[in-house]
A = this chain, B = another copy of it.
Amino acid sequence: MKYIEKLRNSGLRPTKQRLQICEVLFDTERTFHFTINQLEQRIKDKIDNKISLATIYNTVHAFEKKGYLKQIPLNSNQTYFDTNVTDHHHFYDLKKEKLIDLENSDVGPINIKRKINGKKIKSIEVLVKLDD
């Protein structure tokens, strides 16, 4: 399995549950956005055994910490994650409550002129809200 070493290399034991979640998250044509509840549903659909909700939370947070997932800054009652961990931005369709990836070529370079003493920029995220 290709995910076994990936997990071992990050210090995560390649358990059955984690490997199955890897398949759901990363064996896809395209990257995608999800909430924990949506992921839970996908797992139910694609996998025979049950994975507890607590494990899903644990795994998603472990993967996020390792950089395999990103949280998307958004005001919602649910946390959104992204399997696309490259630097990129988002449209948010307010009506449909849906996120749409903006390719980096869709957004001109972002120039932050101000510095904060002793702080480094870790990420720059742009959210473009869409109306009708």
Chain A interface residues (CB < 8 Å from chain B): 71-75, 79, 91, 93-94, 100, 102-103, 105-114, 116, 118-132
* Number of copies of this kind of chain in the complex: 2
* Contact (Cβ within 8 A) A112 B119: no
Is there an interface contact between A126 and B110, defined as CB atoms closer than 8 Å? yes
What separation, in Å, do the CA atoms of A122 and B129 have in the docked complex?
A: 5
Q: List 29 A-B contacts (CB under 8 A).
A: A73-B127, A74-B75, A75-B79, A91-B116, A100-B116, A102-B114, A106-B112, A106-B113, A106-B114, A107-B110, A107-B113, A108-B109, A108-B111, A110-B110, A110-B126, A112-B128, A119-B131, A119-B132, A120-B130, A120-B131, A120-B132, A121-B129, A121-B131, A122-B129, A122-B131, A124-B126, A125-B128, A125-B129, A127-B127
